[in-house]
Structure 1
Amino acid sequence: MTTAPADPMIGRLVDGRYQVRSRIARGGMATVYLATDLRLERRVAIKVMHGHLADDNTFKTRFVQEARSAARLAHPNVVNVFDQGQDADMAYLVMEYLPGITLRELLKDYKKLTPEQTVDILDAVLSGLAAAHKAGIVHRDLKPENVLLADDGRIKLGDFGLARAATANTATGQALLGTIAYLSPELVTRGVADARSDIYALGIMMYEMLTGEQPYVGEAPMSIAYQHANDTVPTPSSKNPAVPHELDELVLWATARDPDERPADARVMLDRLREIEPVLRGGAPAAPTQSTTVLSPLADAPTAETRVLAPAGAPLVTTVEDDDSGEDAAALTRSVERRRRRGYWLLALVLLLTGLAAGTGWYFGAGPGALAEVPKTATMLPENATAVLEGAGFVVETDQRNDPVVPKGQVSGTSPEAGAQARKGSTVTLFVSLGPTILPVPDVIGKPEADARAALADFSVNETNAQQFSADVAAGTVIAVLDADGAAVAAEYPERGKLTLLVSVGPVPPVEGLPVAEAQATLTQAGLQVQLEDPVFDNEVPADHVKTATWTEDPMKPGSVVVLTPSKGPDLVDVPNVVGKNMAEAIDTLTAAGFEVSYELPDLFLPVATVKSQDPESGQAVRGSTIRLVGSLTL
């Protein structure tokens, strides 16, 4: 029995901040993991691009585009994107973690949904999509897999991996993007997409939710694409008679083959949905927001008996039968009545004070005046944070402030701070993040690294520098400042934004003419890799010395390769002795041996001339060098 290999990402600490816990899902571009943000102590979903795509600029650009597109949206029906970066060779994206299921999983369990359920989901998806369209973003990959249904009832739209600006709607010759079952006719035929293409995909999703199946099926993707381009989507009621005709009309409107006949964007379709929603719900009374229990009085309950009790210690009044003491008896009666009335007042005062003490104790102990802990609301959406604070008994006042960590539109904190004790009913100020403050970037190019880091204290400068060899910039001096994408930073940058210093390590050591072993040691010590080519002859460079050193990159960085070509020294060959031989034959012999030949006789006399002397006469000479012949005519 074999077991699947363990995922190497599980347990990994990404970028020194995100501790990967488990795998959630795997797609065509990336794998999604559950992780813990150690800095903010919260669970997040971290999306990691597949390693085999990391070197593909198209996929990498698309991956970064997802972060930038989603980060521009702050809406309760859009999955929040918190961070994006590069850890070694791994590109990642940090998103809001929503425990729950996708719409696809819901459809697998229930096959089809009721009109009311469809309307609820569609309202949420259209709300998020309307925010995207308003921001100029086209999703381009709407499908049930990208609609998230959280356990707490929230519905969010995610996966903006194919999103593009609404104005950039022309194809670039690449394959069609998105799932073929939801592609609009204009994407199939012309490769263009705008907000109305999202509406078409949403119409297909409506049909699927209401009927339990997609309108077009086929064995091959091209067959499905052909149907999208040439057929009209049928009404859902033709498959499910329970579908109201208002939803039939909405589906047909959204899936019109001509984009001009569809809603212009998600806001137009959302407004229409909300117009027909009361009709779809049949005028039924809305469900109560909370259950209320009413206790009826008991019919047989006995009527309480009312009694007046005399104060304790009141004297017993007796009838005095002695007629002579009538005046004394009357005076005694009046005295008793006065003391009785005083007793009633004292009793009432005691009861009043007791009630006041009990009420005060309740007010400050359990009532509105009691102390309560201010809940933690950082990174929540404002409406959710407001509900949490009001549920804890506080009055909420909203304000705004910049925050270098919390994304724009999310709660950055409260006053009093989370965890502090405050009176119930008191006001808690809820601060909504405006995002980081945009600061001017100091000019640190040409400065030593330490001075540059001090000048960039308002930003988050990577502890590890990017390094580069330079013959013009001294070692330890800043060549450039790079932003989070590795490009030269602009004149302004967000506070605490990630920056990297590109620092010079001096020039590449010159090694031409050095012994090969010494050249290798010098380059290796400088952090470069060495590759040796086959030795070649060189009449000027001694054997086993470097003839040429070639760079494989420009500019060179530590780890780059330098190709060394060693010298074999001069190419020496034996010089044939041709003295006394026929001049023409001697020339042929020397030329065949690899030499050039010089002589003074006219070529006409060479066949009848004899070599009188040669220089050099014997020994070895460099191949290609010139041998001088002196000839004489044979008489």
Structure 2
Amino acid sequence: MVLTPTLYCAICGAINEVHAHSCFACHHPLSTQQVPVPVQLLPHMLFRDRYSIIGKVGAGGFGSVYKATDTQSGGRLVAIKEVSLLGLHPQAVIEATTTFQREVSLLSQLDHPNLPRLYEHFQSPGYWYLVMDFIAGETLEAYQSKAPNGRLLLSEVLDIGIQLCTVLEYLHTQYPPIVFRDLKPANIMRTPAGRLYLIDFGIARHFKPGQAKDTVALGSLGYAAPEQFGKAQTTPRADIYSLGAVLHQLLTTKDPSETPFRFTRLRPSSAKSCSDPGSLTTSMVEMLVNELEILIASMLEMDASRRPPHVARVKQELDGLSKLWSDIHKSFWRPRLGYTPQART
């Protein structure tokens, strides 16, 4: 194979033609540089004289993710996200560079229990690296797939919704507000203890007051709000739509990407409660399901102005439903009181 002479930008790692004077991606002046030798991160390797590589834990998009221990921080577990620009065409280099820089810019200013911490970032010719918290667990997508028939307990779904509201409220109350724009089960990590983390800030952005619409239409079909496809600028209400799609999927097991913008009811209108007809418990269950269905339907409104005004309102509703479900559960399992007939002797 014949290698074409190239220059690698020391600032962004982009591949440029050998006669270029400035980087096409970041416009930084170029100087004569050596072609980088790809570094493969292997188990037991000490990377940058600091990170002891344990192994690769994921790959996709423009690179890979490795699990490692930080030998300079008491053996703390970290995730090293490697973005490779080698072999990418110019437009892909720009996209990968923009995605990386956006994630660094956002994560470096955030501090929240449901977000991974960014410890450092660096680059070498042809590569970008992020070092952040290693989150032990699995994606919410993988977790749901292992549940019986793909269904989670209602109490668990409500807790998931409340946790996601908490971190989204934190993002939305930054100045300017940060819109995540890609909330879906595959971008949510769950630890064995049930704690959630948002991952992949590659397309998150700051809300820009006065801007008519997003510069580029981005999002995951089925989870992304309609305005993310070029009709208007995405506001925090776009994340509310995505949260509604996630909750609907967790409750119904229906993947919204299969029928974008079309959501069925949480349960068929012919469904009947298995509780005693006419009992207080039955009435409370009916009320809870109805209120939850109304809430999710409002979150999934095509018109952003008709969705809840902010995620704090959604959290308030979910908190109330969670408390109601707890009361119902206690009532259902409460021992019967009063006279108990004794067997005749």
What TM-score, normalized by structure 2, do the two folds share?
A: 0.70
Q: Deviations over 1:212-233 (max 9, x none)?
A: 1124525xxxxx4xxx3xx5x3
| SS across alignment from 1:22 | strand
Does 2:264 match 1:234?
yes
User: Is this contact kept in 2: 1:113–1:209, CA < 8 A?
Assistant: yes
CA contact (8 A) 2:70 2:77 kept: yes
> In the alignment, does 2:153 pair up with 1:120?
no
Q: Which amino acid aligns with 1:183?
A: A
How far, CA to CA, are the matches of 1:13 and 1:158 in structure 2?
A: 26
Aligned length: 267
Matched AA of 1:131 = Y
2:83 aligns with one of 22, 26, 49: 49
Separation of aligned partners in 2, 1:239 and 1:119: 22
- Residue 123 of structure 1 and its aligned partner are, at CA, apart by 1.1
Q: 1:95 aligns with which of 113, 125, 132?
A: 132
Which residue is 1:251 aligned to?
296
Cα deviation 1:337-394 (Å, max 9, x = unaligned): xxxxxxxxxxxxxxxxxxxxxxxxxxxxxxxxxxxxxxxxxxxxxxxxxxxxxxxxxx
Q: Distance in 1 between matches of 2:78 and 2:142?
A: 21
Q: Do 1:103 and 1:147's aligned partners in 2 also have CA atoms closer than 8 Å?
A: yes
1:209 to 246, 250, 263: 250
Q: Secondary structure at the match of 2:267?
A: helix
Question: Contact (CA 8 Å) 2:223, 2:256: kept in 1 or not?
Answer: no
Distance, in Å, in 2 between the alignment partners of 1:100 and 1:36 is 17
Post-superposition CA distance 1:255-301 (Å, at most 9, x none): 11110111233222112211332123334459xxxxxxxxxxxxxxx
Cα pair 2:221 2:257 within 8 Å, conserved: no
Does the Cα contact within 8 Å between 2:112 and 2:167 map onto a contact in 1? yes
Q: Read off the aligned partner of 2:264 and give its amino acid letter.
A: P
Question: Hey, which bits of structure 1, 4+ residues long, moved more than 6 A?
Answer: none
* Distance in structure 2 (CA, Å) of the matches to 1:76 and 1:237: 34
* Equivalence map 1:33-432=2 (5 Å): 33-40=66-73, 41-52=75-86, 53=88, 56-110=93-147, 111-135=150-174, 136-167=177-208, 170-172=213-215, 174=216, 176-190=217-231, 192-215=233-256, 217=258, 224=260, 228=261, 231=262, 233-238=263-268, 241=271, 244-285=289-330
Q: 1:237 to 1:157 in 2, by over 3 A?
A: same
Contact conserved, 1:73 with 1:131, CA < 8 A, in 2? no
Match of 1:8 in 2: 40
- SS in structure 1 of the partner of residue 190 of structure 2: strand
Percent identity between the two aligned chains: 28
Cα deviation digits, residues 462-501 of structure 1 (max 9, x gap): xxxxxxxxxxxxxxxxxxxxxxxxxxxxxxxxxxxxxxxx
Q: Distance in 2 between matches of 1:19 and 1:249?
A: 50
Give the SS at the match of 1:244. helix
Partners of 2:250 and 2:292 in 1: how far apart? 11
Match of 1:107, SS state, is helix
Gaps of 5+ in 2: 1-38, 274-287, 332-345
Q: 1:265 to 1:83 in 2, by over 3 A?
A: farther
Higher strand share: 1
Higher RCO (CA 8 Å, separation ≥ 6 residues): 2
Distance 1:58 1:189, change over 3 A: closer
Please list every run of 5 or more consecutive structure 1 residues that lacks an aligned counterpart in the other structure.
1-6, 219-223, 287-635
Matching residue's letter, 1:166? F
CA offsets per residue over residues 397-439 of structure 1, 9 Å max, x none? xxxxxxxxxxxxxxxxxxxxxxxxxxxxxxxxxxxxxxxxxxx
State the distance in 2 between where 1:205 and 1:112 align: 13
Matched to 1:248, the amino acid is E
Which amino acid in the other structure matches residue 213 of structure 1? Answer: K
Q: Partner of 2:308: helix, strand, or coil? A: coil
TM-score, scaled to structure 1: 0.39
